[in-house]
Amino acid sequence: MADRRSELDLPKAKRAKLAESDPASNPYLAHMYEEDVGYGNGYGSRNGNKNGRFEQTGLSNFQRHASTAAQAHTAEDGPGNPFNNVPLSNQYFNILKTRRDLPVHKQRQEFLDMFQKSQILVFVGETGSGKTTQIPQFVLFDDLPHFNNKLVACTQPRRVAAMSVAQRVANEMDVKLGEEVGYSIRFEDVTGPKTVLKYMTDGMLLREAMHDHNLTRYSCIILDEAHERTLATDILMGLLKEVALRRPDLKIVIMSATLDAQKFQRYFNDAPLLAVPGRTHPVEIFYTPEPERDYVEAALRTVLQIHATEPEGDILLFLTGEEEIEDACRKITLEADEMIREADAGPLKVYPLYGTLPPHQQQKIFEPAPPPARKGGRPGRKVIVGTNIAETSLTIDGIVYVVDPGFSKQKVYNPRIRVESLLVSPISKASAQQRAGRAGRTRPGKCFRLYTEAAFKKELIEQTHPEILRSNLANTVLELKKLGIDDLVHFDLMDPPAPETLMRALEELNYLACLDDDGDLTTLGKLASEFPLDPALAVMLISSPEFYCSNEILSLTALLSVPQIFVRPASAKKRADEMKDLFAHPDGDHLTMLNVYHAFKSQAATSDPKKWCHEHFLSLRALQSADNVRSQLKRIMEKSELELVSTDFNDKNYYTNIRRALVAGFFMQVAKKDPTGKTYKTVKDDQSVLLHPSTVLGVDSDWVLYNEFVLTTKNYVRSVTSVKPEWLLDIAPTYYDLSTFKAGEIRSALQKTMDKVKRKQATKRTR
Amino acid sequence: MSDDDEYEIPLQDQRVFGSGIKRRRVKFVPSTSGATSSVTSSTTPANSISDMYLRLVLPEGSEDDASIGNANFMVEHNKGEEISVSTCEICNLPLSSPPSAKSTTLRDGVADTGLSTSVPVSTTNPHEASFAHQVCLQHSHPPSHVDRNRKGLAYLSSYGWNPDSRFGLGASGQGIQNPIKVKPKDDKMGIGVVLPPESERRKTEKPTRLDAGKIKKLDEKDRKRTERLRQTFYQNEDVERYLGGG
Ligand SMILES: Nc1ncnc2c1ncn2[C@@H]1O[C@H](COP(=O)(O)OP(=O)(O)O)[C@@H](O)[C@H]1O
Ligand SMILES: [Mg+2]
Ligand SMILES: [Zn+2]
């Protein structure tokens, strides 16, 4: 086969067409091409109140950017809903009362004054003061986006927060989630034509910006939790700085929970800053006198100790990840049951909280603590075991005790070996302060730090490094190029990344043929940026029709984009492994996952998927979301006119084609077995790795392709598939140009393969 | 039961802990810097973080007018000094100090080494020889280790970034110059746990009796390790070529 790159870059008629396809058919741009009849939010394009078709609402006589807090107060009091005139419910008025007690409420007028006067505003307030839920509503009443066919966006770094907060605000505004208030996260859009307030992940807003550089559908953009400094928030800030100049009508609010708000102020050319006093109570801080040998065990014992000895009040324990959290929840529940039986302790309810938790389970953390088991018995207590999400993104009332082991899972990227991984690392002092603050929401609280005071002072860094300094930037560079930002050197980021990290990203994109040698976006690159996927995955998906297996690669891409589908409970590891073996494909994990998916879609499973998944130790949730992701990606493929094809299952090349298609995206993630036969070495980066214990690989393969590099004190590669060296040379000739390899085992093995291929071709020719 | 030796707490406390998790209590000590030091309290508005901001933002915040005035006063005071004393353009330090005895001896010392007396040293203001001034001078740094053939570098260079400039990226080159490094952790050890150094741990290992077979094996292991070390050091192609190998 010829060089795949040239094939993709010499556009077939079809590809050329899609590149220049009508922007009106682009889902991200649709709003720009709407005629006045089918407006974005159903309120009429201009002055809907004068349109005659619309009833008078509580907002009809409001003057845009000249309203007052008192006016808003009146409109909120009803009787009709200010946004749709529906009579307001009792629940609405109950919530309204508590909302008016929130610290931000007292400063509503002050907020409006500043909001009306300036284009960019920095707003600081402690967690729980009402930033996320109230400020966007303050904006709605003054900005009146629905009269101008616009929306207000409020970004959240986390999916969980976006969903949960949107639900809360829908309740507060007495509307149905998905109508006036909605949310949008990757692979899930819960908004409608009436939506005026959209909570969304920062990543989603960035994606929208790729198609609409000026974010024209929004009249106000609120960047919430800016102190978290996620990659997407940082890029958005750089972008909004530029958009603000091009769009004087756009209002921007930056909200942060921490002290370094001044840094934001300075960054936005001395934008005005409004601070709202917290409503927190003092928190007593305790340290352990000695370092703890096992922080998880110490954490569990501390939780139980609090339950046994401290007065009423809920507990928040910070741990690092799903597995650790689920395990801790189980153990605490078991222990607590025994305490209740043996020592008449109060009832204890334990709730996990992490990013991949389904929404209805996330909502549970807001349930009140259980009542005493019997009249006059000891009070019940609620324990929330969560990740960093509970640090600032979600406010949980009633927490009085915080247990802080001092760790969180943080992303790191090493551009020298091109490995991005999540590592458990000590948190920063700023994080520790935030965590402690969670204990003082309702009344004076206590924070138990499972480390010494000396360690706090000496070993914790001041601030967590922003994500942009810890990430692989391949995807970001692709997004920036699509945003039309070419000068990556001088792009005004708050914390620019290391040059080496950026160079790596540019080189990876070049090898993937998303950027040409001048660093310009190629047709493939433009197409890849349409997919909300890492570039390698996107390129694999786009190339898959050439390998006659786009249906299968589409399924695989979806499966690789969701959490682990295999469930392996500590109590039934053996049984789980046996079940996994039912699906095992000798050529590796990718094909095994594909087998699972096909079985999941078969009759046997679809009649009762829950039971089927349970029996086979599979995660129904993960498989269902893979299904959802698949259909979303399919839509983008169809729009891009990428064919959905399969090789006949009985063809001997069915699986070979899929493995070759994998190479088209992941040729930079290949390892070769060492001559010793025990470890593998990654190609070009020369890292010694082991196959992850979860690997299914029936054949003894010299070359493997992997999806993930797991960095621990031992290095593992996870989700591997056996590949052939001749495929590497054939499908990715630029990357596998032998002159770019260091002399060594890998180079000579590839050289041998190349010679063999040449000989074969020669004999073919002479025949 | 191995858990038995963990029983060290008063009887009345024992029952409240289940058997699965060890019954040893986690001890805590209060923070030395005051109970509420790190968290703000609404009852002490002057200390609250938010109030600090309010003071920045709200004109009414008059309590700290005095301190602002103070700061202004200090600035002005500094300015006053600047007028009377000329400062060095390079290090911004005052140039007032007269040649001290120490620097004279230094000059003598240089002369004693037999260098030509026309060397600028003799005419140099002693200030310029001072350490504080020297560190502010522009040095020529060794060039960056970055491979000049990298495509990524070509891109960044075309937008004006120079790997040898010791500047990072960003609007004013303020970005970090090297990627952040983190050590992987795959144990459950708490923050601040220090394991005894390798050598001490080895000391506590029981001495094992050796026989001929074991000695041979150890020997073999040693040899392999040496080999591996050699490999690591000399596997570099250029070095190998230089050494006449390959
Ligand atoms: N899902 C929810 N259920 C019940 N109450 C909530 C929910 N989300 C927020 N609240 C209430 O709203 C208050 C303000 O929360 P929020 O706006 O998230 O504050 P901030 O963004 O400043 O941290 C919280 O203190 C809590 O009382
Ligand atoms: Mg918030
Ligand atoms: Zn000087």
Query: Residue B84: what pLDDT?
Result: 57
Is the pLDDT assigned to residue B21 strictly greater than 70? Answer: no
What is the C-alpha to C-alpha distance for residues A513 and A735, in angstroms, rounded to an integer?
11
Q: Do A277 and B48 touch (CB under 8 A)?
A: yes
At B185-235, the pLDDT tens digits run 888 999 988 877 666 655 555 556 667 777 788 888 878 877 776 665 555
- Min Cα distance A474 → chain B (Å) is 12
Chain B interface test: which of A263, A417, A493, A503 (most B C-beta within 10 Å)? A503
What is the C-alpha to C-alpha distance for residues B174 and B176, in angstroms, rounded to an integer?
7
Q: Contact A391/A438 with Cβ under 8 angstroms?
A: yes
Side-chain-side CA neighbours of B111 within 13 Å: the count stands at 12
What is the A240 CA–ligand 1 centroid distance (Å)?
Answer: 27
Question: For residue B134, which ligand has an atom nearest its CA?
Answer: 3
Query: Residue A766: what pLDDT?
Result: 73
- Min Cα distance A255 → chain B (Å) is 14
Cα-only R_g, chain A = 28
At A359-375, the pLDDT tens digits run 788 888 889 999 988 88
Query: Residue B7: what pLDDT?
Result: 37
What is the residue whose two structure tokens read 């090493």? A414
At A452-464, the pLDDT tens digits run 999 999 999 999 9
Q: Does A286 touch chain B (CB under 8 A)?
A: yes
Query: Residue B56: what pLDDT?
Result: 62
Q: Which two tokens stand for residue A276?
A: 């709202």
Which residues of chain A have a CB within 8 Å of the CB of B18? 304, 334-339, 342
Q: Do B18 and A304 touch (CB under 8 A)?
A: yes
Q: Report which of B107, B130, B105, B127 is spatially closest to residue B117, judged by C-alpha positions.
A: B107
Is the pLDDT assigned to residue A133 strictly greater than 90? Answer: yes
Q: Which helix (H) or strand (E) holds B79?
A: helix B65-84
Query: Residue A343: what pLDDT?
Result: 80
Cα four-point dihedral sign B180, A529, A589, A624: positive
Question: Strand A181-185 to strand A188-190: parallel, antiparallel, or no bridges (unpaired)?
Answer: antiparallel
Please compute the mean of the pLDDT values over residues A715-722 and round it to a whole number: 95
- Per-residue burial over A572-592, b if 16 or more Cβ lie within 10 Å, else e, is eeeebeebbeebbbebbbbbb
Question: For residue A129, which ligand has an atom nearest its CA?
Answer: 1
Residue among B15, B153, B188 minimizing CB distance to A342? B15
Query: Residue A239: what pLDDT?
Result: 96
Which residues of chain A have a CB within 8 Å of the CB of B22? 297, 301
What is the C-alpha to C-alpha distance for residues A758 and A726, in angstroms, rounded to an integer?
11
DSSP A521: B
At A665-714, the pLDDT tens digits run 999 999 999 988 889 999 999 999 999 999 999 888 999 999 999 887 78
Long-range contacts of A736-739 (CB under 8 A, 24+ apart): A736/A667
Residues 710-749 of A with CB under 8 A from B: 711-714, 742-744
Q: Which two tokens stand for residue A167?
A: 């639900």
DSSP A453: H
Q: Which two tokens stand for residue A475?
A: 């995807």
At B129-178, the pLDDT tens digits run 777 887 777 766 777 778 888 899 999 999 999 888 888 999 989 999 99
Please compute the mean of the pLDDT values over residues A71-96 and round it to a whole number: 94
At A534-578, the pLDDT tens digits run 999 999 999 999 999 999 999 999 999 998 899 988 788 899 999
What is the C-alpha to C-alpha distance for residues A253 and A255, in angstroms, rounded to an integer?
6
Question: Strand A407-414 to strand A181-185: parallel, antiparallel, or no bridges (unpaired)?
Answer: unpaired
Which residues of chain A have a CB within 8 Å of the CB of B15? 342-343
What is the B139 CA–ligand 3 centroid distance (Å)?
Answer: 15
Query: Residue B113: what pLDDT?
Result: 42
Please compute the mean of the pLDDT values over residues A415-443 and round it to a whole number: 91
What is the C-alpha to C-alpha distance for residues A243 and A259, in angstroms, rounded to an integer?
26
Question: Strand A151-156 to strand A197-201: parallel, antiparallel, or no bridges (unpaired)?
Answer: parallel
Q: Does A450 touch chain B (CB under 8 A)?
A: yes
What is the C-alpha to C-alpha distance for residues A72 and A78, in angstroms, rounded to an integer?
10
Residue of chain A nearest B53, judged by CA positions: A275
What is the C-alpha to C-alpha distance for residues A669 and A684, in angstroms, rounded to an integer?
10
Q: Contact A4/A732 with Cβ under 8 angstroms?
A: yes
- Band of residue B3 on the pLDDT scale cut at 50, 70, 90: very low
Report chain B's mean pLDDT, rounded to a whole number. Answer: 64
DSSP strands (E only) in B22-68:
29-30
What is the C-alpha to C-alpha distance for residues A580 and A582, in angstroms, rounded to an integer?
5
ipTM higher than the 0.90 cut: no
- Min Cα distance B81 → chain A (Å) is 30
Query: Residue B9: what pLDDT?
Result: 38
At A453, the amino acid letter reads E
What is the C-alpha to C-alpha distance for residues A377 and A340, in angstroms, rounded to an integer?
11
Query: Residue A36: what pLDDT?
Result: 41
Q: Which two tokens stand for residue A445?
A: 């609280």
Side-chain-side CA neighbours of A328 within 13 Å: the count stands at 31
Q: What φ, ψ does residue A183 adopt, rounded to 5°?
A: -140, 160
Alpha helices for A492-532 (secondary structure H)? 499-511, 523-528
Q: Do B169 and A497 touch (CB under 8 A)?
A: yes
Is the pLDDT assigned to residue A94 strictly greater than 80? Answer: yes
**Sheet harboring B29-30: ordered strands across?**
A348-353, A381-386, A314-318, A399-404, A445-449, A283-287, B29-30
- Min Cα distance A558 → chain B (Å) is 29
Atom 4 (ligand 1): residue with closest C-alpha?
A366
What is the A394 CA–ligand 2 centroid distance (Å)?
Answer: 6
Please compute the mean of the pLDDT values over residues A200-221 and round it to a whole number: 96
